[in-house]
Amino acid sequence: MMNVFSVAFRVERPIWIACLFVLALSVAIGIMYPATVSVNYYMQQLQIAAFVGILASGAMVVLLLGEIDLSMPWTATAAGMLACGVFSSGAAWANDGTAISFALLMGLAIGGLNAFGVAILRAPSMVWTLGVNAILLGLTVVYAGGYSPQTNASPLMRHLAVGRVFDVVPVAALVWMFVGGILVLVLRLTPLGAWIYAMGRSPRVAYLAGIRTRAVVFFAFLWAGLCSAVGGVLLSGYSGQAFQAMGDPMLLPSIAAVVVGGTKVTGGEGRYLGTVVGVLALTLLSNVLSLMQAPEALRLIIYGTTIILMLLVSNKRAQAHP
């Protein structure tokens, strides 16, 4: 019995650590800045966390396969620009629904391109998705002519990003909950979820077991592209318009949140609860640094250091339990 509890604690240890970190940050904020402690303050932090959480939902599935998607920043930017561009085009068919639909389709198309490169061409995901990210960067610069597009987010995009239910609960948090709910159902209750974990542990064994490994890779990158597009739509709604490089600050937090939550970067292990806690932890950490007027460079250093440290912990655990 003791062995069972020790194994459970070892598996869940990153989540417990992240939970304690969130609790410590909340207490520290309350002590140092008591004026900020209110329902509205925490709802505002939850709204900000939702943007990172949606992108992290896509990053997690790819990481579970032992792959990585570095095209998320400009997928989100391109999707946001397309949604704003379609809505502001003045065409008879341009409305809230078509604007968001075009953005989501773009996310799926980019995800499909990434999956084709990784699953069919056998290209390393890090190099391939980084190349796709560079292509998207160039295309958006050509589209915008080097300037921020003079297009605006639709009313629905604004509502999804900054709206409140009963003037309390952020709509963005509900969108995150919806996205996360779908992912949890897939990972915990469907064969596809079991295949994802199996491929993360050993792609070769999964293939020999009859799992359609290419289909699983396609799902992972399509899901990541879709989540990036949703994030781009919300970011555009939050700022009122899409602008170049708006997705860049989201790359490190979204990946770091997944790793902090206990998902192994080598694949095969991780729970969505850990990702949620990781997102909340990094959101509160970023807020503390903002309240302390810490420079942006320091935030980036902390995010990067977090990823490196958790990678070392993951490798150590993998060596201790082969």
What's the rounded mean pLDDT across residues 216-243? 94
What's the rounded mean pLDDT across residues 293-299? 78
Is the model's pLDDT at 22 over the cut of 70? yes
Is the model's pLDDT at 7 over the cut of 50? no
- Confidence grade of residue 167 (pLDDT, cut at 50, 70, 90): confident
Task: Look over the chain and give the mean of its residue pLDDT values, rounded to a whole number.
Answer: 86
Residues in Cβ contact with 29 at an 8 Å cutoff, skipping those fewer than 6 apart? 36, 37, 284, 287, 288, 291
What's the rounded mean pLDDT across residues 131-150? 82
pLDDT for the residue numbered 50? 96
Cα-based distances in Å from 217 to 57, 171, 274: 15, 31, 22
pLDDT for the residue numbered 311? 61
pLDDT for the residue numbered 88? 85
Is the model's pLDDT at 100 over the cut of 50? yes
Is the model's pLDDT at 10 over the cut of 50? no
Q: What is the DSSP string of 79-128?
A: HHHHHHHHHTT--TT-SHHHHHHHHHHHHHHHHHHHHIIIIIS---HHHH
What's the rounded mean pLDDT across residues 284-290? 82
User: CA angle 263-298-306, nearest 5°?
Assistant: 15
- Confidence grade of residue 11 (pLDDT, cut at 50, 70, 90): very low
Beta bridge partners of 125: none
C-alpha 23, offset from chain centre? 22
Is the model's pLDDT at 133 over the cut of 90? yes
Asked if 48 and 284 count as a contact pair (C-beta separation under 8 A), the reply is no
pLDDT for the residue numbered 317? 52
Cα-based distances in Å from 309 to 23, 195, 260: 21, 28, 9
